[in-house]
Each structure stands twice: as C-alpha cells, then as structure tokens.
Amino acid sequence: MSLQADSKVAVLMGGRSAEREVSLMSGQGVLKALRSRGVDAHAFDPSERDLGELKQNGFTYCFIALHGRFGEDGTVQGALELLGIPYTGSGVMASSISIDKTMTKRVWLAEGIPTPKYQLVPRDRVAQQDVQALIAQLGLPMMVKAASEGSSIGVYKVTRAQDLPQALAMAAQCQADVLCEQFIQGDEVTCPILGEGDAATALPVIRIVAPEGNYDYQNKYFTDDTQYLVPCGLPAGEEQAIQTLVIKAYQVLGCKGWGRIDVMIDAQTRKPYLLEINTSPGMTGHSLVPMSAKAAGITYEDLCLRLLGSAGLEHPPQEMSA
C-alpha cells in the first residue's frame, strides 16, 4: 500500500493499559519520525479522546503505538475495522490471541512449536492454589506472569517455595489470570518479524544480557546496564534456526505487519523455547525492533514508514450494490 498525498495519520499512543508510560515514549518517537518524512501525522490518545473522533477529524490511517490491553489485544483493532480506518499491525483475532500468553502457548503447542511447560492459575483461585503441586509440576526456579500483560509487568522469578504465594498474588493484581512457567536456564534472545504470510521475514536476532539475568521492566526501559548483542554471537546455524522458527510461530497465529518473539535457549541442549509474542512492540530509545532493524540497514524513520505502508483492514468496506 502506498500512502496518498492527502493522507492524515493518527499515531495512537498512551491508552489505558499498565504500559501507558512506555506507549507514550513509543508514540512520540514514531510521530517525530513520520513527520520528519513529510507525513501529516498527529498524536491521538484513546484514553483522552473518543475513537469516533478519528473519523470526524478526517484521519485516513492509524499507526498503533499502543502496548498491552486496550491497544494490543484486538479491541482497538476491532473499533478501527468498524470505522473503516486502516491500521498497522495484526488484526483482531491474531491480536487477541497473542496478548494472552496462555492462548499463544496452546496454538504453538498444537503446531509443534516448543514453549516451556506451564500451568494457568485463574485469578480468583490464586489464594487456594496448591503451591507444592505447582513446584512438583514445573520445578524451581519458576516464572510467574500476569497472563495478559507485556513489558515484563507482573512478571516474577521465584527461586524459593515460600516466595511463590506472594508472587502469585502480585501477578493477579494486574487483573489477569496467572501463568506459571518452567524456567529455562540459558541464553535470552529476541527476534523481530516484518511482513505477512509467506512474505514474512525475520530481522537479526538480539541476545540480551541483563544485570543478574533479570530483564525486568526497569532494566528494559530505564537503565543502560542491560547489554543487547547484535550480531548475537550465537553458534553457527542457531540464529538462522531461530529465525525460521519464529517466522512459523508468527504465521500460525495469523500475525501481520510486524511482531517480536522472545526466546530462551536451553544452555545444556541448545533447544530454543518460545516465550511470547509482541504484536505492537516498543519503539522507544531502548526498544529492540528498531535496534535489530538498524543492524539490517533499516533506519528508524524507514522502519516507521514501512510499517505505516503495511497498514490495512481485515475486512475493507465494500461498495453497496443498488
């Protein structure tokens, strides 16, 4: 798709999720990049304005720089489908599945894609959960995660049995069910994907080396202590194998536009395990998709233009017959 000369673009940012702060940083970066290339782009915060204003104010495209719920979960995508305004990234179904770590795992496992063992604990049953049964199933250390949040919000690494009840309770405070997951010891990597269907391509893999192995919200966005290695320095053949695997994982979820998949590589077996997918990845100064794109020779501004150029609708409006 090529933008028309009179296109008016809304960069959706902020929103109501726990990732609002990061989304505002992403959105401002995208807004500046698009304007630098002559695009008539404007900031639009759905938590402060009604989405119906997009149509009323003549916006012809939306660049979704929202993260988390009410932005990355299919809700805003559905609204834009109803408004008939093309948008960046995945559609309604792929977005709603991908935001849910458990549903993503179910799809991947059905397609033979490796992901760590897990157990879902409903939010209203956290207090009654048999902690010893969880440990018997998944072992320690264990990852405890809010099942439908991103940016490492509501994520805890539990190394002692006595700490597990508190981790479950804290994850449940994110107003989500809790995903308990087998911990994979080894290299932590991430790989962005661009495109759709058979045309989807993987960007260079990034290896993440965080302080004490703790790649949390603070170390993601607000410190310079985390190392991001690109080229990733993995053994020969491993990077290509991971790229092939993440493309398949992206395709089976029906994703399009772009995404980023986080992977753990078992230190002993070198087997990769896919953790989750982000269908509206960060675009901040610390974000990984722009970093990987830069390693592939794609500037931040060109990446934004490319993503905007892929904007579309799953169900384009059709002319009514008389």
CB atoms within 10 A of CB 7: 16
Instruction: Select the more confidently predicted residue: 76 or 153.
Output: 76
Sheet of strand 61-64, all strands in order from the earlier edge strand to the far edge: 40-44, 8-12, 61-64
Task: Please determine, for residue 7, whether its predicted confidence score (pLDDT) is greater than 60.
Answer: yes
Cα 12 from Cα 34, distance rounded (Å): 13
Mean pLDDT of 79-107: 97
Quick: pLDDT tens for 15-49. Answer: 998 889 999 999 999 999 999 999 999 999 999 99
> Please, which pLDDT band fits residue 280 given cuts at 50, 70 and 90?
very high
Cα 142 from Cα 127, distance rounded (Å): 18
Could you tell me the sign of the dihedral formed by the alpha carbons of 209, 210, 214, 217, in that order?
negative
Task: Please determine, for residue 223, whether its predicted confidence score (pLDDT) is greater than 70.
Answer: no
Query: Which amino acid is present at 128?
Result: Q
Residues involved in catalysis = 19, 151, 221, 260, 262, 276, 278, 282
Mean pLDDT of 225-252: 95
Domains of the chain: 8-89 (3.40.50.20), 97-114+184-307 (3.30.470.20), 118-182 (3.30.1490.20)
Mean pLDDT of 122-136: 94
R_g (Cα) of the chain, nearest Å = 20
Task: Please determine, for residue 189, whether its predicted confidence score (pLDDT) is greater than 50.
Answer: yes
Closest alpha carbon to 64 in 13, 17, 25: 13
Cα 245 from Cα 144, distance rounded (Å): 25
User: What's the chain's average pLDDT?
Assistant: 92
Task: Please determine, for residue 198, whether its predicted confidence score (pLDDT) is greater than 50.
Answer: yes
For residue 213, the model assigns a pLDDT of: 59
> Please, which pLDDT band fits residue 176 given cuts at 50, 70 and 90?
confident
Task: Please determine, for residue 51, whether its predicted confidence score (pLDDT) is greater than 60.
Answer: yes
Share of the chain above pLDDT 70, in %: 93
> Please, which pLDDT band fits residue 321 given cuts at 50, 70 and 90?
very low
User: Do residues 180 and 125 lie in contact, with contact meaning Cβ atoms separated by under 8 Å?
Assistant: no
User: To which residue do tokens 């029906």 refer?
Assistant: 254
For residue 216, the model assigns a pLDDT of: 53
Torsion of CA 84, 90, 91, 94, to 10 degrees: -170
> Please, which pLDDT band fits residue 285 given cuts at 50, 70 and 90?
confident
Mean pLDDT of 184-207: 97
